[in-house]
Amino acid sequence: MATNIDPARASQSMEDVLQKVNKLIAEEDAASKRKSREKTSQRTRKILEYLQQGVAFADAIAGMNDYAGVAVKTFAKLLECEIARRRNSEEFVVVYQAFASTLFLVRYLEQANMEDIRDQLEQYFDQMNTLMQDFGLSAEVYYTKCKQAFVRFLKATAFEQELKEFTERAYDIQEKIRDCLGTYTAVTVTTTSEDVKRILSIVSNLPKATTKPEKDAEKIIQAAGDLEDVLMDDTKIAAIAKIFGDRVTSETKAILQQDLDELLAIHRDGFITKLDEATVTITTKIEGAQGEIMRKLNSGPHNLIDNEEFKKVWQDNGWKASVKCKLFVDEICGHFRNAFSNQPEDEPLPKDNWTLAVLTYVMFHPAIGDAIDDDGSGYVSVREFNKFLRQKPENWTVPELFAFWALGWQESIYNTCFEINDLVWEIEEIALEAKKASSDEATTEHIEAYLQVLDALTDITRWSHVTGYDQTFTVDVDYDADEMERLTEEYNAKNQEVFHHVTGDNGIIDAYSDLYYLNMRFDSRVELWFVPMVYQVLKLQLNSILLGPEDDEDAPRNAKHVTDYQWFQMDSTLEVLLCEFHSRMKTLLRGWRVQKLDSQLQVNSFFGGIFAGWFEGYISGSNKKVIARLERLEDADDDSDSEDASPSEVSELRVLVSELQGSVERLTGMVQSLLNKEDTSNSKTRQEAFQADAEDGDAPQDDENYDNGQGNDDYNDDY
């Protein structure tokens, strides 16, 4: 992509990024030496975010040199995969700085006499590209194949040596590139030897025992005399796994007893294929970031709108960085109505004219607003609207996009939930038979865990029962059902391609990084993909455990031999998906709490109430066992890990705290209601002020969409 980004500006921006990251790494190193993990996760996320900003500038400059451009693209893909992970190991994250400080030397390429040193530079950047691929493979294996805490602990020393080697080799290549460029131009040194030492210091923390489970496991290793002796003893492996609250499988034993180089070699081809598949999506994302940089240099929020038609609508209405959701949807639907009515009589009606029958119904507008408003704040920002428009299939018009989200999506999800329930029932029947027939304790435990998450899924699928959703409420709406069905089928077909990238043919997700394609398409909006994705996964999992033709009633239902590791993988896959859903709900709840909104009301109305069933179980405690498991996934890298409490104890406590917080909120609301009744005059004054605010069309000036707890009230009342 040709860009007009000023090289001087890009160069300065990359230097700023490197300095910011070096500062964060220094803070992390100092904190680790004090044995303090406070704010570690915040620092690692900031490091990744800063580096992602720098990549857009690096790619704009490197694009003119093919060899440098390839290396920068590889780095960008690895960075995207890392960001897509729910939890990031700081020991891996800091190594990205070693690569960035080398790659960002592209800012000096234009100043050098390229003809004289081109061959040398090409060789160095090729070496860098290969080194980063090797690092990416190590990270992939660490996060996916060693995702159980006890496996990571026992493999930590091997990974530590790998990371140190990557860091040292990256800086060795950096020195060579500097020397090469230094002959022709002055090269600023942004990373000192002290910065390198800090990275290596943080990496060296990987095998150190810091938590109580790790210290207890270390005692077993010391008593055995040697790590290798432990790895060859199934009893000791099981004892260590139990300390971490994990279960041993045949696969995990094989991973532990396998040399790391062999493990990496086995998974190399699959990882390189994954990188190649990510090329198109990462290129699009980088180009989008570069375009965003250019648009921000122009004045006026309307200039940030990608679509020229709606850029004018935004400007004509005088909207600022964000606008109230109700006002926005009403105005856009009015714009469509005017566009259709102004169509010349001698011309045929547009093919999407049928959408008017849906868009003119105000009762459908909240659903459209929720599809755009990704943080549930009640406001639409420029950023959110751009993201919404980018999801439009190429052969759709924007009115069709609006009509689909007004009506088609919720009907599709409603029907899919019934299909999920049928699959759950069928899988549970097979799993129970397998559990009854199993004599292996590990297999039985994995099946029980799997049944637990299957049952939890039905809490989510009952959202329509909780909200009182009635599929027949649209019978009086005269719209083209065939066209709506076409949109639904096309939308689902397009998403199936994304889902296949995530699950493959077996319905298994190895780790959070596998959700990369979902994050690329849907960003943080788990509610958009969760239900159809779960349906896809369950179908594939059923096929993997189902024996023989389904129409053979005499055939045993579970004649296939399903290993303990297969049950573990299926359970882990659903656990990953549920964790994403649960985390998204908590994020929304925090936003509504900041705005002082009624959580129950918001949950039941936001996005058709898709979170309503899960929230009900969350508050009542009916799904607390599964939630404890999900919270435990997050606790694994929590900054405030307790050295005295086990992971399961921490998880249970967090569930109890969450329930207690919900009770306190309800009690607070009841007390506030009583106080309001005692002071009717004050209540009347507040209501008058509230109505005045409701008539005010201005939106907040910031892009975060929050309005100090007031702006969404009139949105709820009007809807």
Dist. CA 87–CA 637, nearest whole Å: 7
Number of H helices, E strands in the chain: 32, 2
Average pLDDT of the residues in 277-294: 56
Sign of the Cα torsion 515, 521, 522, 528 reads negative
Q: State yes or no: pLDDT of 615 exceeds 90.
A: yes
Residue that wins the pLDDT comparison between 195 and 712: 195
Backbone angles phi, psi at 539, to 5 degrees: -60, -45
Dump pLDDT digits (tens) for 227-283: 888 888 888 999 999 998 888 888 888 899 889 999 999 988 888 887 776 665 555
On whether the CB atoms of residues 142 and 89 are closer than 8 A, the answer is: yes
Average pLDDT of the residues in 182-188: 71
Token output for 522: 């849907």
Residue type (1 letter), 295:
R
Dist. CA 709–CA 585, nearest whole Å: 19
Dist. CA 426–CA 466, nearest whole Å: 24
Percent residues over pLDDT 70 in the chain = 77
Contacts 24+ apart (CB under 8 A), 143-148: 143/85, 143/89, 143/511, 143/512, 143/513, 144/510, 144/511, 144/513, 144/514, 145/255, 145/263, 145/267, 145/510, 146/255, 147/510, 147/511, 147/572, 148/241, 148/244, 148/246, 148/252
Dist. CA 316–CA 133, nearest whole Å: 49
Q: pLDDT band at residue 226, thresholds of 50, 70 and 90?
A: confident
State the SS3 of 37-85: CCCHHHHHHHHHHHHHHHHHHHHHHHCCCHHHHHHHHHHHHHHHHHHHC
Contacts 24+ apart (CB under 8 A), 234-238: 237/150
Dist. CA 581–CA 576, nearest whole Å: 9
Dump pLDDT digits (tens) for 83-93: 888 788 999 99
Average pLDDT of the residues in 291-297: 49
State the SS3 of 365-415: HHHHHHHHCCCCCCEEEHHHHHHHHHCCCCCCCHHHHHHHHHHHHHHHHHH
Q: State yes or no: pLDDT of 213 exceeds 60.
A: yes
Report the pLDDT value the prediction gives residue 280, as an integer from 0 to 100: 55
* Least confident residue range of 329-333, 599-603, 624-628, 689-693: 689-693
Which residues fall within 8 angstroms of residue 147, CB to CB, at 6 or more apart?
Answer: 510, 511, 572
Dump pLDDT digits (tens) for 512-570: 667 777 877 888 899 999 999 999 999 999 998 886 444 445 545 554 678 888 899 89
Dist. CA 161–CA 151, nearest whole Å: 16
Please give the C-alpha separations between residue 715 and each of 298, 480, 686, 712, in angstroms, as whole numbers. Answer: 31, 29, 17, 5
Residue that wins the pLDDT comparison between 301 and 162: 162
Closest by CA to 530, choosing from 456, 564, 580, 477, is 580
Report the pLDDT value the prediction gives residue 686, as an integer from 0 to 100: 41
Token output for 353: 């004219």
Q: Which range has highest mean pLDDT (42-56, 125-139, 613-627)?
A: 125-139
Percent residues over pLDDT 90 in the chain = 36
Would you report the helix, strand and coil content of the chain in percent, each value rounded to 5? Answer: 75, 0, 25
Largest CA distance in the chain: 90
Report the pLDDT value the prediction gives residue 685, as an integer from 0 to 100: 45
Q: 322 in helix, strand or coil?
A: strand
Enter the pTM of the model.
0.69
Dist. CA 522–CA 532, nearest whole Å: 13
Per-residue buried b or exposed e for 503-530, using 16+ beta carbons within 10 Å of the residue's own CB: beeebbbbbbbbbbbbbbbbeebbbbbb
End-to-end CA distance of the chain: 43
Report the pLDDT value the prediction gives residue 449, as an integer from 0 to 100: 92
> What is the residue-averaged pLDDT of the chain?
80
On whether the CB atoms of residues 583 and 90 are closer than 8 A, the answer is: no
Token output for 78: 């690895």
Report the pLDDT value the prediction gives residue 577, as an integer from 0 to 100: 93
Average pLDDT of the residues in 477-493: 87
On whether the CB atoms of residues 616 and 466 are closer than 8 A, the answer is: yes
Dump pLDDT digits (tens) for 323-370: 899 999 999 999 888 888 887 777 777 888 899 888 888 888 999 999
Closest by CA to 436, choosing from 425, 427, 444, is 444
Dist. CA 386–CA 210, nearest whole Å: 45
Q: 156 in helix, strand or coil?
A: helix
Residue 352: in which H helix or E strand, if any? none
Q: Which range has highest mean pLDDT (601-605, 631-635, 669-673, 690-694)?
A: 601-605
322 forms beta bridges with 381
Dist. CA 185–CA 190, nearest whole Å: 15
Dist. CA 666–CA 669, nearest whole Å: 5
